[in-house]
């Protein structure tokens, strides 16, 4: 009998709101339930959704959306303090450039997605570093999100789970849960072919692999990226684990 809390919370206005709790680490500890949530944006929550999020006790949100994205989806929960860690979206502009060249296909779209993940490491490590600073200082429960809660949020969540000692295969499983839950806004991008929309509206393991490969290329390996890129020294790593793991 499984008496664990629900991992996915079926909110009407946020399809991808999930808990990072309940994952077993290499040393047999478990990520704490109801401490760290990951989600798509919180600007379309219904009144009932707001009550659910309030009941969870969420007080802080870490928002990876760019400037224009934030303006069109203000957090609907007044008690939540939103911390902006902006990573401007680049994929749609790159896709449209390929359309203009007459070169856009599904495989091209997938490679542009992988490149965007490599760029999280190359150009946006400062935002992920800032997130870990907040995780060490802020009080849980908290939520991490972007627009869809799948790419910027997906990489951030994978980094958190890695730092806590969760095995790679479990991290990949959590990442891919987006494909079971995320319902994309059909009106958000309508000028691209269906196979391209499918490519960018879901996640695949190769996206996350591309980010970790970039970390390995630039830093030697992912552990060194956590240490030197995200500035998680042993003391910070221990503090993170004490805060977000249970025996």
**HEC profile of the chain:** CCCCCCCEECCCCCCCEEECCCCECCCCCEECCCCEEEECCCCCCCHHHHHHHHHHCCCEEEECCCHHHHHCCCCCCCCCEEEECCCCCCHHHHHHHHHHHCCCCHHHHHHHHHHHHHHHHHHHHHHHHHHHHHHHHCCCCEEEECCCCCCHHHHHHHHHHHHHCCCHHHHHHHHHCHHHHCCCCCCCCCCCCHHHHHHHCCCCHHHHHHHHHHHHHHHCCHHHHHHHHCCCCHHHHHHHHHHHEEC
Q: How much is the pLDDT for 44?
A: 94
Q: What is the pLDDT along the chain (247 residues), one digit of tens a residue?
A: 457 899 999 899 999 999 999 999 999 999 999 999 999 999 999 999 999 999 999 999 999 999 999 998 999 999 999 999 999 998 888 888 988 888 888 889 999 999 999 999 999 999 999 999 999 998 889 999 999 999 999 999 999 999 999 999 999 999 999 999 999 876 565 677 888 888 888 999 999 999 999 999 999 999 999 999 999 999 999 999 999 999 8
Question: What's the pTM?
Answer: 0.96
């Amino acid at each position: 009998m499984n008496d664990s809390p629900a991992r996915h919370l079926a909110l009407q206005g946020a399809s991808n709101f999930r808990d990072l709790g309940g994952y077993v680490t290499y040393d047999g500890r478990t990520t704490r339930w109801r401490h760290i949530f990951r989600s798509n944006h919180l600007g379309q929550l219904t009144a009932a959704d707001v009550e659910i999020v309030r009941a969870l006790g969420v007080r802080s949100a870490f928002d990876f959306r760019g400037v224009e994205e934030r303006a069109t989806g203000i957090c609907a929960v007044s008690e939540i303090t939103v911390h902006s860690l902006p990573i401007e979206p680049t994929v749609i502009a790159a896709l449209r450039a390929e359309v203009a060249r007459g070169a856009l296909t599904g495989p091209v779209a997938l490679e542009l997605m992988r490149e965007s993940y490599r760029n999280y490491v190359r150009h946006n490590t400062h935002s992920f570093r800032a997130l870990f600073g907040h995780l060490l200082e802020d009080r849980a429960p908290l939520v991490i999100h972007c627009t869809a809660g799948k790419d910027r949020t997906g990489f951030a969540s994978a980094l958190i789970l890695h730092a806590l000692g969760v095995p790679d295969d479990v991290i990949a499983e959590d990442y891919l849960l987006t494909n079971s839950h995320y319902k994309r806004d059909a009106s958000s991008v309508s000028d691209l072919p269906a196979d391209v929309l499918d490519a960018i509206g879901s996640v695949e393991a190769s996206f996350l692999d591309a980010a970790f490969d970039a970390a390995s290329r630039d830093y030697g390996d992912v552990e060194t990226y956590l240490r030197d890129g995200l500035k998680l020294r042993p003391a910070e790593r221990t503090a993170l684990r004490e805060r977000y793991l249970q025996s």
